[in-house]
């Protein structure tokens, strides 16, 4: 299967959760952070979680505690409830993916990461696919969960407008032994670390942890299959240098250029 990897996918540095800035009260994954990325000619990486009523909310964490004046699981609140919650450091509200894409309106690429509990629930993935079908701007979808990308691969209609499917990618790192991955089984960790899902996912691009570069998985995909590699999350000059050698583009925090 040929890669669906258009030039825009790695043409510009990608702002991690948008171009956010705590000093200016611009919070990650907000419309303000998206506007900041557009203004600096950067692409936007965002995250989506599912609300209790099935909407794709642009938010990274499973819980609300770190960034907002509320607490608890995002998934237990409806869209209306979530949009009534204030951030700790900004007057903005949590946007839906529809709102984010309406604001961006094709002005820069959006790389959307679909969050997952690795439980086989595809409702969020399906909601994102329905949204993508009505968006004509450059939009790519990715996930740590290979089941989501395999689900898209197995569907009759790939996400995106008819005739213009979204590039589909995998987010990965070298090891899944950290506390963040404690809910995964030993078998799942081995499968992820060794990219044993490749036959089912066949990613158009790879989003890989910069601190794990160089690594055989991105090296072989990039060298043998011309799969574009994005390196995340680049914050230091040393990480920029590693990404320049082993990847095609950076997902960065801070300034777009050194």
Q: What is the pLDDT along the chain (258 residues), one digit of tens a residue?
A: 789 999 999 999 999 999 999 889 999 999 999 999 999 999 999 999 999 999 999 999 999 999 999 999 999 999 999 999 999 999 999 999 999 999 999 999 999 999 999 999 999 999 999 999 999 999 999 999 999 999 999 998 999 999 999 999 999 999 999 999 999 999 999 999 999 999 999 999 999 999 999 999 999 999 999 999 999 999 999 999 999 999 999 999 998 765
Instruction: Assess if residue 136 is contained within a domain.
Output: yes
- Domain of 85 in residue numbering reads as 7-250
Closest CA to 17 of 97, 138, 111: 111
Q: CA 160 to CA 92: how far, in whole Å?
A: 28
Instruction: Assess if residue 255 is contained within a domain.
Output: no
CATH number at residue 185: 3.20.20.190
Indicate the pTM of the whole model: 0.97
Cα angle 125-204-252, degrees, rounded to a multiple of 5 = 85
Instruction: Assess if residue 208 is contained within a domain.
Output: yes
Instruction: Assess if residue 257 is contained within a domain.
Output: no
Instruction: Assess if residue 218 is contained within a domain.
Output: yes
pLDDT, tens only, 232-253 = 999 999 999 999 999 999 999 9
Q: CA 134 to CA 38: how far, in whole Å?
A: 21
Instruction: Assess if residue 215 is contained within a domain.
Output: yes
Instruction: Assess if residue 186 is contained within a domain.
Output: yes
Joined tokens for residue 2: 């040929």
The count of domains in the chain is 1
């Amino acid at each position: 299967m040929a890669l669906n990897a258009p030039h825009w996918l790695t043409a510009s540095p990608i702002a991690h959760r948008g171009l956010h800035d705590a000093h200016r009260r611009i919070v990650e994954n907000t419309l303000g952070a998206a506007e900041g990325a557009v203004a600096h000619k950067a692409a936007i990486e965002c995250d989506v979680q599912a609300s209790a009523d099935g909407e794709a909310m642009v938010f990274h964490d499973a819980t609300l505690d770190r960034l907002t004046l509320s607490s608890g699981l995002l998934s237990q609140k409806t869209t209306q409830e979530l949009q009534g919650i204030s951030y700790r450091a900004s007057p903005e509200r949590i946007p839906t993916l529809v709102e984010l894409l309406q604001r961006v309106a094709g002005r820069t690429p959006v790389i959307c990461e679909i969050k997952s509990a690795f439980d086989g629930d595809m409702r969020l993935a399906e909601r994102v696919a329905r949204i993508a079908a009505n968006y004509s701007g450059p939009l790519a979808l990715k996930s740590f969960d290979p089941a989501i990308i395999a689900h898209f691969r197995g569907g009759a209609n790939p996400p995106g407008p008819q005739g213009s499917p979204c590039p589909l990618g995998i987010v990965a790192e070298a090891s899944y032994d950290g506390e963040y991955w404690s809910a995964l089984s030993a078998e799942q960790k081995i499968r992820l670390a060794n990219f044993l899902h490749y036959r089912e996912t066949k990613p158009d691009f790879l989003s890989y942890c910069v601190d794990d570069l160089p690594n055989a998985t991105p090296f072989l995909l990039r060298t043998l299959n011309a799969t574009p590699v994005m390196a995340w999350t680049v914050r230091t000059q040393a990480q920029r240098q590693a990404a320049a050698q082993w990847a095609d583009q950076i997902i960065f925090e801070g300034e777009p250029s050194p």
